[in-house]
């Protein structure tokens, strides 16, 4: 945006219908400036101090050189100022480039600077030029300027000479005007072309300028030690090394300070505030912040982001799934789960075999095989009778059906029984069924049982958002999230399942934590806590607090971290250029891995854990892929020690429980047989039948015992004993 301000610049006799020499001179200077900016659109705004015919004369002059113009007349200050500001807001929202030429008094120009600053109408696509008769400008004018605001001052020290001053022509200090160009009537051209120096060359060197940088304790990006709750001491971190590289390349110094909220900030609130460190950048109190800042739409409304410093993903961490009851090890192999292997980049923190898909019970197919094999064997034996109806015997067919079913049952229990038929077809079915039960079902059961005892089963992990939602609804799990973080903003502004999780979190007594580092001990201590955050941060903190205690979920969404800067920051292009060079050279990845390596060395020194020496805590293959062969072997040995162990008597307790259950069932069956009479055969017609002949005295004793037990727990009714009138009809 170009603004030319003049107090009594034009006299009435000067701005007549015919163009004066002063106007011709100014038109030539402005035309050269617009051509070499360059720009193709100019907005002209005047106040009451400028003759009303001047904008039309200037527009016609610019139209001759294919420069489109737009005019605003500030006669009634409030109404037209709002219109002009609304136009600038539209330009900013559309990310368009606009040049606005404004002729107004010095007091009006000072008011415009304040309004532009308060409304935050500052971008790199907007340029402000002020025409001032006297130099230097007033104190109020210079104090209202910001470095991100592109401001140019044009002066006319003498006839035929126009000087151009620019506030972004020097990187050593903030809002310092520097002479960058001038136009002379003698040469009829500018001294330098283009008019303004590019920001990428100006901010290539800060000449030792010092910046105040807020810092938050968030390993592995920053390791901060707080002293007396006011002073901070940075002890390292990935972003600390990255900031040191930027400072060395751009030649600036920095000093850390403790921000008031000690949080990043998620979005602009309803009352028009932005808490956290990003709020300081939004208020333009600090220039930038580096510290695993996730790029979100809500944050981009207040700050501007550089080229990403980390390509990460969202995830949540839970406590590692516990081991299942080993007493059920004999039955668990028949619980078959269709597992799809999830191979992550560095391996998972938990120890399950895979992500459990839809569960299929093995018992129903086995029972169905036993039940259907008998009728199939009966059909094979009785198939010849379809061609010889004379061989059909109803009594023999019924007996053959029950014999076939019992014969199949004895085969499945690996017992010998009387052969049903001597035909070759029946014997073929018997051989196939024997092989199937012996070598398929039996061997599968033995192999699964052996592997399960060698590698104990664990509970089904929570890997997806759908499982997390189900766990929060049915099992009372509670989701934790860092306050004013990107994960907090995703839950608050999300839709679908994120919106459901946010609603359930609103009913929790405890949902927000100060940092991920403080939430990891809560997850380790309580099985019902789940922590949502960045996957890299969760992975690093899980190794700090013991990787065996945590389980990391699948990747939920892609998130990018970048450096947060002020909107309209003039040195953004320089920072992006350095970051892209660091990425191409692999330096960003190198310094990230060095933090994990330092963590592994610290763990080895303090805990003596050789398997966590590298970043690949529990995955040997992932460690080898990163190019460090020592990581893979160490991690593999640790994983084998944790997952595989020799079979002990504790694992075999299920066999003794099954044996005890068998003895118990046998004893009950024997007692029932001795308590009642055996089945007595009798004859009815020509077909032998059997019926159950009960002992009446035994039934009477049993009913008396049940009646006495009933009367102890049920009070007597006015109609008399409930056992007398309930039991008498049955006994009769």
Separation CA 392–CA 566 (nearest Å): 96
DSSP for 92-121, please give it: HHTT--EEEEEE--HHHHHHHHHHHHHTT-
pLDDT band at 686 (very low <50, low <70, confident <90, very high): very low
Position 345 scores a pLDDT of 37
Q: Rounded to a whole number, what is the distance in angstroms from the first to the last CA of the chain? A: 108
Q: Is the pLDDT of residue 574 over 90?
A: yes
Position 444 scores a pLDDT of 64
Percent of the chain with pLDDT over 70: 72
The stretch 362-377 carries a mean pLDDT of 76
Position 15 scores a pLDDT of 41
Of 72-86, 506-520, 540-554, minimum mean pLDDT range:
72-86
Residue pLDDT, tens place only, 252-273: 999 999 898 888 888 888 888 8
> Domain 21-197 belongs to what topology?
Rossmann fold (3.40.50)
For 463-467, the CB contacts below 8 A with 24+ separation are: 463/342, 463/355, 463/553, 463/554, 464/355, 464/553, 464/554, 465/497, 465/498, 465/501, 465/556, 466/497
- 3-state per-residue secondary structure call for 163-208: EEEECCCCCCCCCCCEEEEEEECCCCEECCCCCCCCHHHHCCCCCC
**CATH 3.40.50.2300 in the chain, residues?**
21-197
Chain-centre distance for alpha carbon 310: 14
Residue pLDDT, tens place only, 427-439: 787 777 777 776 6
Q: Is the pLDDT of residue 109 over 80?
A: yes
Is the distance from CB of 494 to CB of 515 less than 8 angstroms? no
Q: Is the pLDDT of residue 638 over 60?
A: no
Show the tokens assigned to 423.
């035909």
Q: Tell me the average pLDDT of the chain.
A: 76
Radius of gyration of the chain (CA): 43
Which letter, b or e, does each residue of 415-447 get, where b requires 16 or more Cβ atoms within 10 Å of its Cβ?
eeeeebbeeeebeebbeebeeebeeebeeeeee
- 3 state SS of 283: coil
Separation CA 457–CA 323 (nearest Å): 6
Is the distance from CB of 319 to CB of 246 less than 8 angstroms? no
Separation CA 714–CA 711 (nearest Å): 5
Position 620 scores a pLDDT of 32
The stretch 685-703 carries a mean pLDDT of 57
User: Do you know the residue count of the chain?
Assistant: 732
Using the structure block, give the residue that is written with the tokens 């659109």: 41
Q: Is the pLDDT of residue 171 over 80?
A: yes
Name which residue leads in pLDDT, 55 or 365: 55
Count of other CB atoms within 10 angstroms of residue 292: 27
Q: Is the pLDDT of residue 393 over 60?
A: yes
Name which residue leads in pLDDT, 419 or 635: 419
Q: What is the pTM of this model?
A: 0.69
Is the distance from CB of 410 to CB of 437 less than 8 angstroms? no
**Per mean pLDDT, which of 8-12, 328-332, 595-599, 684-688 is the most reliable?**
595-599
Give the phi and the psi of residue 683 in degrees, each rounded to 5: -115, 135
The stretch 5-11 carries a mean pLDDT of 44
Residue pLDDT, tens place only, 585-611: 989 888 888 888 887 677 666 655 444
**Per mean pLDDT, which of 6-10, 368-372, 590-594 is the most reliable?**
590-594
Give the phi and the psi of residue 688 in degrees, each rounded to 5: -70, 135
The stretch 277-291 carries a mean pLDDT of 92
Residue pLDDT, tens place only, 300-353: 999 999 999 988 889 999 998 887 776 666 666 555 544 433 333 333 333 333
The helix (H) or strand (E) run that includes residue 699 is helix 696-713
- 3 state SS of 631: helix
Separation CA 129–CA 138 (nearest Å): 15
Decide: residue 409, CB within 10 A, 0-12 exposed, 13-18 middle, 19+ buried. Answer: middle
Q: Could you tell me if residue 272 is left (phi over 0), alpha (psi between -120 and 50 degrees) or otherwise beta? A: left
Of 230-239, 272-281, 502-511, 521-530, minimum mean pLDDT range:
230-239
Of 72-86, 369-383, 407-421, minimum mean pLDDT range:
72-86
Show the tokens assigned to 499.
């919106």
Count of other CB atoms within 10 angstroms of residue 585: 10
Q: Is the pLDDT of residue 179 over 50?
A: yes
Q: Is the pLDDT of residue 461 over 90?
A: no
Position 720 scores a pLDDT of 43
């Amino acid at each position: 945006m170009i603004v030319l301000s003049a107090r009594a610049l034009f006299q009435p006799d000067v701005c007549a219908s015919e163009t004066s020499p002063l106007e011709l001179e100014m038109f030539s200077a402005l035309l050269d400036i617009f051509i070499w900016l360059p720009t193709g659109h100019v907005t002209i705004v005047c106040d009451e101090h400028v003759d009303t015919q001047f904008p039309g004369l200037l527009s016609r002059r610019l139209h001759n050189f294919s420069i489109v113009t737009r005019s605003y007349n500030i006669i009634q200050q409030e109404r037209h100022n709002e219109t002009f500001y609304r136009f600038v807001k539209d330009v900013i929202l559309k990310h368009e480039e606009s040049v606005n030429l404004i002729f107004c008094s010095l007091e009006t120009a000072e008011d415009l600077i304040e309004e532009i600053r308060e409304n935050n109408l500052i971008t790199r696509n907007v340029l402000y030029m002020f025409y001032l008769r006297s130099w230097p400008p007033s104190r109020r004018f210079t104090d209202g300027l910001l470095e991100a605001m592109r401001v140019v001052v044009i002066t006319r020290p003498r006839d035929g000479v126009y000087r151009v001053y620019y506030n972004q022509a020097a990187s050593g200090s903030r809002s310092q005007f520097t002479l960058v160009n001038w136009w002379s009537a003698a040469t009829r051209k500018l001294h330098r072309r283009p008019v303004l120096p590019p920001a990428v060359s100006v901010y290539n060197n800060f000449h030792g300028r010092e910046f105040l940088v807020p810092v938050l304790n968030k390993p592995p990006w920053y390791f901060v030690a707080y002293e007396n709750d006011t002073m901070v001491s940075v002890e390292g971190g990935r972003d600390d090394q990255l900031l040191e590289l930027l400072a060395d390349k751009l030649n600036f110094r920095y000093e850390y300070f403790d921000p008031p909220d000690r949080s990043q900030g998620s979005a602009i609130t309803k009352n028009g505030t932005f808490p956290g460190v990003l709020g300081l950048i939004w208020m333009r109190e600090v220039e930038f912040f580096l510290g695993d800042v996730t790029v979100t739409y809500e944050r981009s409304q207040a700050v501007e982001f550089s080229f990403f410093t980390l390509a990460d993903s969202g995830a949540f961490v839970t406590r590692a799934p516990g081991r299942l009851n080993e007493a059920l090890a004999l039955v668990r192999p028949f619980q078959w789960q269709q597992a799809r292997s999830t191979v992550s980049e560095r391996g998972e923190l938990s120890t399950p075999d895979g992500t459990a898909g839809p569960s299929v019970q093995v018992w129903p197919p086995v029972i169905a095989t036993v039940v259907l094999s008998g009728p199939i064997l009966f059909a094979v034996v009785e198939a010849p009778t379809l061609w010889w109806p004379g061989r059909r015997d109803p009594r023999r067919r019924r007996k053959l059906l029950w014999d076939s079913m019992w014969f199949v049952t004895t085969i499945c229990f690996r017992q010998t029984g009387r052969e049903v038929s001597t035909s070759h077809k029946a014997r073929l079915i018997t051989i196939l069924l024997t092989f199937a039960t012996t070598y398929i079902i039996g061997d599968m059961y033995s192999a699964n049982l052996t592997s399960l005892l060698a590698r104990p089963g664990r509970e089904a992990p929570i890997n997806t958002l759908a499982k997390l939602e189900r766990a929060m609804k049915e099992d009372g799990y509670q989701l934790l999230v860092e306050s004013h973080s990107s994960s907090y903003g995703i839950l608050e502004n999300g839709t679908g399942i994120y919106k459901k999780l946010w609603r359930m979190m609103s009913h929790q007594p405890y949902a927000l934590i100060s940092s991920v580092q403080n939430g990891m001990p809560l997850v380790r201590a309580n099985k019902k806590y789940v922590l949502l955050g960045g996957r890299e941060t969760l992975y690093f903190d899980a190794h700090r607090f013991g990787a065996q205690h945590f389980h990391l979920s699948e990747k939920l969404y892609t998130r990018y971290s970048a450096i947060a800067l002020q909107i309209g920051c003039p040195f953004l292009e320089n920072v992006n250029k350095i970051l892209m060079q660091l990425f191409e050279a692999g330096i960003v990845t190198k310094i990230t891995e060095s933090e994990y390596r330092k963590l592994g060395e610290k763990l080895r020194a303090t805990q003596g854990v050789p398997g966590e020496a590298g970043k690949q805590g529990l995955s040997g293959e992932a460690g080898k892929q990163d190019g460090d062969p020592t990581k893979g072997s160490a991690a593999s040995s640790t994983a084998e020690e944790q997952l595989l162990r020799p079979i002990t008597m504790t694992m075999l307790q299920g066999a003794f429980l099954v044996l005890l259950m068998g003895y118990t069932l046998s004893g009950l069956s024997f007692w029932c047989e001795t308590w009642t009479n055996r089945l007595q055969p009798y004859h009815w017609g020509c077909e032998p039948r059997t019926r159950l002949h009960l002992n009446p005295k035994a039934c009477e004793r049993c009913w008396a015992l049940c009646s006495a037990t009933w009367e102890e727990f049920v009070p007597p009714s006015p109609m008399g004993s409930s056992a007398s009138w309930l039991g008498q009809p049955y006994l009769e």
